[in-house]
Amino acid sequence: MRTSSIGRPREFDPEVALEKAMVVFWAQGYEGASLTDLTEAMGISRKSLYAAYGNKEELFRKALKHYEQGPGAYVAEALRAPTAREVAMSFLAGAARANTLPALPAGCLGVQGALAAGDTGRTARDFLAEWRARGQALLGDRFRQAVAEGDLPAGADPEKIARYVMTIANGVAVQAAGGATCEDLQQVADAALRNWPPA
Residues that bind DNA (CB under 7 A): 2, 4-12, 33-37, 44-48, 50-52, 55-57, 118, 120
Closer CB to DNA, residue 25 or residue 91?
25
- The 10 Å Cβ neighbour count of residue 186 is 17
Using alpha carbons only, how large is the chain's radius of gyration in Å? 19
| Longest CA span, the chain | 62
**Binding-site size, a second copy (CB under 8 A):** 52
Tell me the one-letter amino acid at 151.
D
List the one residue from 72, 121, 140, 158 that touches a second copy (CB under 8 A): 121
The angle subtended at Cα 174 by Cα 170 and Cα 119, nearest 5°, is 90
Is there a contact between 74 and 119 (Cβ–Cβ < 8 Å)?
Answer: no
List the one residue from 3, 4, 69, 195 that touches a second copy (CB under 8 A): 195
Residue 134 interface partner, choices a second copy, DNA, none, CB cut-off 5-8 Å depending on type? none
C-beta of 115: minimal distance to DNA in Å?
Answer: 17
DSSP letters for 23-51: HHHHHHHHHH--HHHHHHHHT--HHHHHH
List of residues contacting a second copy (CB under 8 A): 26-29, 31-34, 37, 105, 107, 111-113, 115-121, 129, 132-133, 160, 163-164, 166-175, 177-180, 184-185, 187-188, 190-192, 194-195, 198-199
